[in-house]
């Protein structure tokens, strides 16, 4: 059965890292006879330059029809002064909304070989293996009313934090389901001491927890969670949280690994999933063949797992990545912790070479 993957390289280093991902996708397709075809489309600043739209309708339609979408990154200084509806990030929000990608999974794993790369002491990050489950289509990012309005001759900026019970229920189930195949603990993060949306969140999550007797639920206020992530990160298994808290906490959690260049993500809904590295377009290093493609390659592994239904391919790729790290290879962002520093394309080739040597038992 053939599969179709939309590639959206986007801006900055997105182009380079998605280029490496394509090499791996093509190889895995051949190895497992999956007949995967890919199509590349413009998104973000690249699309703005081309047609003055952050993402064209036909690109959204292609994504809706695909089996999965792989996105590099969007944005850059060139488009920073564009009006709100013409910003590259708008493309991302539109895709998330139209594809119904409410469930954003951001796994944070500290590789044994990279314990020293963290700004925290190795004994603090040792064994960290957590998953941020971030609600992705609600909350402050999308709530109405929203905008800059004029009140009595004064400008007022308005965003609305808003969550309905069904929105909370479905993301809570996603988190509990994820916990079932992990260490069976969910930490639901909110600001229930202040926010009404958080009070409803807490009550709803508590009720859904009743469907999962094997999973332990705890609640944590977001400010405390920010502190606990630094103080004792290995206490966490699954962190369940709303859109903006998840945005902030996942960047913080990423640094436990030493570089945001290593973190993959999957955004899931009822249709095709979208996969992207957590890092941005890094315009300062774009076009130099030095960006770290590992987050994107790890996102490809998630794509094989969740959208292409091929756990074996996902595991092979994940073990190839960890072998490469164990062998002392890394990119410039991690050069202090690498014995051999590779360019973007050399890293792609190294992962590919290692992957080819992994023989899965039939």
Question: Looking up tokens 């199509």, which residue turns up?
Answer: 39
**Among ligand IPM, Mg ion, none, residue 89 binds (CB under 5-8 Å by kind):** ligand IPM
Of 196, 101, 193, 200, the C-alpha closest to 142 is 101
- Residue closer to Mg ion, measured from CB, 277 or 348: 277
**Which of 13, 92 has the CB closer to ligand IPM?**
92
Contact 323, 281 (CB under 8 A): no
Shortest CB 89 distance to ligand IPM, Å: 4
Query: In whole angstroms, how far apart are CA 140 and each of 17, 45, 88, 194, 269?
Result: 30, 24, 18, 15, 19
Q: Which is nearer to Mg ion, 93 or 180 (CB)?
A: 93
Q: How far is the CB of 212 from ligand IPM (least distance, A)?
A: 27
Nearest approach, Cβ of residue 11 and ligand IPM (Å): 11
> Are residues 253 and 132 in contact, defined by beta-carbon separation less than 8 angstroms?
yes
What are the residue numbers of the active site? Answer: 141, 191, 223, 247, 251
- Among ligand IPM, Mg ion, none, what does residue 92 contact (CB within 5–8 Å per kind)? ligand IPM
- Angle of helix 13-31 relative to helix 311-326, nearest 10 degrees? 120
Work out what residue 318 binds among Mg ion, ligand IPM, none; the CB cut-off runs from 5 to 8 Å by kind. none
Q: Which is nearer to Mg ion, 54 or 280 (CB)?
A: 280
* Distances from the Cα of 342 to the Cα of 86, 294, 302, angstroms: 36, 11, 23
170 phi and psi angles, rounded to 5 deg: -70, -35
* CA-based nearest residue to 69, from 47, 90, 38: 38
Least distance in angstroms from the C-beta of 43 to ligand IPM: 12
Choose the contact partner of 342 out of ligand IPM, Mg ion, none; CB within 5 to 8 A by kind: none
Residue 108 interacts, among Mg ion, ligand IPM, none and using kind-specific CB cut-offs from 5 to 8 Å, with none
Smallest separation, CB 192 to ligand IPM (Å): 22
Residues that bind Mg ion (CB under 5 A): 247
Binding partner at 16 among ligand IPM, Mg ion, none, C-beta below 5 to 8 Å by kind: none
Give the shortest CB-3-to-Mg ion separation in angstroms.
28
Q: Which does 190 bind (CB under 5 to 8 A by kind): Mg ion, ligand IPM, none?
A: none
Rounded Cα distance between 166 and 179, Å, is: 20
**Smaller CB separation from ligand IPM, 91 or 347:** 91
If one counts every other C-beta atom within 10 angstroms of the C-beta of residue 274, the result is: 28
Rounded to a whole number of angstroms, the distance between the first and last alpha carbons of the chain is: 20
Interaction site with ligand IPM (CB under 6 A): 89, 92, 247
Tokens encoding 162? 């808003």
Q: Tell me whether residue 84 or residue 196 sits nearer to ligand IPM (CB atom).
A: 84
Give the 3-state secondary structure of residue 79. helix
User: In sequence order, what DSSP letters do the residues of 109-156 get, joined into one string?
Assistant: E--GGGGGGSSS-HHHHTT-EEEEEEE-SSGGGT-SS-EEEEETTEEE
> In whole angstroms, how large is the CA radius of gyration of the chain?
20
| CB of residue 112 to Mg ion, shortest distance in Å | 27
Does residue 20 sit in helix, strand or coil?
Answer: helix
Ranked by CB distance to ligand IPM, the top (closest) residue is 89
279 vs 310 by CB, closer to Mg ion: 279
Residue nearest to Mg ion (CB): 247
**3-state SS, residue 48:** helix
């Amino acid at each position: 059965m053939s599969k179709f993957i939309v590639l959206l390289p986007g801006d900055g280093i997105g182009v380079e890292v998605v280029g490496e991902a394509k090499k791996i996708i093509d190889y895995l397709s051949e190895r497992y006879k999956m007949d995967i075809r890919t199509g590349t489309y413009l998104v973000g600043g690249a699309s703005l330059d081309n047609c003055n739209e952050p993402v064209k309708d036909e690109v959204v339609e292609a994504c809706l029809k695909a089996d999965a979408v792989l996105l590099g990154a969007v944005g850059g200084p060139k488009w920073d002064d564009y009006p709100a509806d013409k910003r590259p990030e708008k493309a991302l929000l539109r895709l998330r909304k139209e594809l119904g990608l409410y469930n954003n999974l951001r796994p944070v794993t500290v590789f044994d070989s990279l314990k020293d790369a963290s700004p925290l002491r190795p004994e603090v990050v040792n064994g960290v293996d957590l998953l941020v489950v971030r609600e992705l289509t609600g909350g402050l990012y999308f709530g109405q009313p929203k905008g800059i309005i004029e009140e009595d001759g004064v400008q007022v900026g308005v965003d609305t934090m808003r969550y309905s019970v069904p929105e909370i229920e479905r993301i809570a189930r996603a988190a509990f389901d994820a916990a079932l195949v992990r260490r069976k603990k969910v930490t639901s993060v909110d600001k229930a001491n202040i926010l009404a949306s958080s009070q409803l969140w807490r009550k709803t999550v508590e009720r859904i927890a009743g469907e999962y007797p094997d999973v332990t639920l705890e609640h944590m206020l977001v400010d405390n969670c920010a502190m606990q992530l630094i103080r004792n990160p290995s206490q966490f298994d699954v962190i369940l949280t709303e859109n903006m808290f998840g945005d902030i906490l996942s960047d913080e959690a990423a640094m436990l690994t030493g570089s945001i260049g290593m973190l993959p993500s999957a955004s899931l809904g009822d249709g095709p999933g979208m996969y992207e590295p957590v890092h941005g377009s890094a315009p300062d290093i774009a076009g130099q063949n030095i960006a770290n493609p590992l987050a994107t390659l790890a996102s490809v592994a998630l794509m094989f797992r969740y959208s292409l239904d091929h756990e074996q391919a996902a595991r092979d790729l994940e073990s190839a990545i960890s072998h490469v790290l164990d062998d002392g290879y890394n990119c410039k962002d991690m050069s202090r912790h690498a014995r051999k520093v590779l360019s973007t394309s050399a890293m792609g080739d190294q992962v590919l070479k290692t992957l080819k040597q992994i023989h899965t038992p039939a």
